[in-house]
Amino acid sequence: MWITGGGHAKWFFVLARTDPDPKAPAGKAFTAFVVDGDSKGVVRGKKEINMGQRCADTRAITFEDVVVPSENVLGAPGAGFKVAMGAFDTTRPGVAAGAVGLAWRALDEAAKYSLERKTFGVPIAAHQGVSFMLADIAVNLELSRLMTYKAAAEVDRGTRSSYYASIAKLFAADAANQAASNAVQVFGGNGFNTEYPVEKLMRDAKIYQIYEGTSQIQRVVIARELLQRVGQTGSASLYGFYEHLLSSGSFKPLIFLTGDSMKLILLVLLFLLVGVAHAGVTEWINKKIINPIKRPFVNNGKGRTRYQRRAHRAVHRVTG
């Protein structure tokens, strides 16, 4: 099996079948190990020449009668599959971050080139077809960046974040590939030449749709997590809001609530918050805006006359 960075790695995370029963379910058949790369029997194959990401020393790693001490077991024996799936919640945002960086570089290169290259006497950036491609890269770049931060924040909070990790990885990877493709298009024929940097970006981008689970696998995970949430709560967004409250330590007394009772309590709280906010804003508007304007007109006639005279003098001073 080819391993990215296999030529440099000092340690390997290994998922090995420890239950000899071929009918054993995956959730109980595998155990996770940390294996020292210098252990006897660890064999690194030749460096593979890949389409892109060539600085990553990719090699096949084989194990021949490798002895692993018991203290190198991650989690419980037989729980390796769960350990591996949980690790993706942490590693997929990292892949998304790499894709964001690539898209950022693609935008920088394409934008600079579009200002330097001229056709018909003007920079190609002035042509709508080119500017729209740059705009598309920029939009997807910023959305990818924000989603990556969201997934990373979920990891920092210690919450189970498969949903957000997969969304970030899927969107950022697809955005990076589109950004690289658009950058090559902006460069035109030069973009196809190795003297310019964007062809490398296009080659490097593809692996982000494969790393840590393909884009198709991410869609499977996203759909599964989404439907599970909706099935439990009736609303993915409400469940996410409730989950955030619990993970942040707020409203701990609500932790026992589930289903309709949870939604009812949160709905009441939401209406109360909106009501308080509305009352506060209304009072401020009345005090600071409406009353000062209205006051001169609600006084007696004498007051109105004084106000009108002052207004007339002010206008006269301004207009001369």
The structural domains of the chain, with segments of one domain joined by +, span 2-78, 81-247, 269-319
List the catalytic residue out of 154, 212, 225, 283. 212
Q: Is the pLDDT of residue 168 over 90?
A: yes
| CATH architecture group of domain 2-78 | Beta Barrel (2.40)
- 90 burial (CB, 10 Å; 0-12 / 13-18 / 19+) is middle
Q: What is the pLDDT of residues 172-212, one digit of tens each?
A: 999 999 999 999 999 999 999 999 999 999 999 999 999 99
Return the pLDDT at 1. 66
Cβ(81)–Cβ(15) below 8 Å = yes
- Of 3.30.2020.30, 1.10.620.20, 1.20.140.10, 3.10.20.30, which CATH number belongs to 81-247? 1.20.140.10
H helices, E strands: number in the chain = 10, 8
Residue 257 backbone zone (phi > 0: left; psi -120 to 50: alpha; other: beta): beta
Q: What is the pLDDT of residues 233-247, one digit of tens each?
A: 777 764 455 555 555
Average per-residue pLDDT for the chain: 84
> Exposure pattern of 101-138 as b/e (b: 16+ CB <10 Å)?
ebbbbbbebbbebbeeeeeeeeebbeeeebeebbeebe
Q: Is the pLDDT of residue 111 over 80?
A: yes
Q: Which amino acid is at 208?
A: Y
Return the pLDDT at 292. 57
Return the pLDDT at 304. 46
Q: Is 212 part of the annotated catalytic residue set? A: yes
Global model pTM greater than 0.75? no
Which of the residue ranges 23-37, 126-140, 217-231, 295-309 has the most confident prediction, judged by mean pLDDT? 126-140
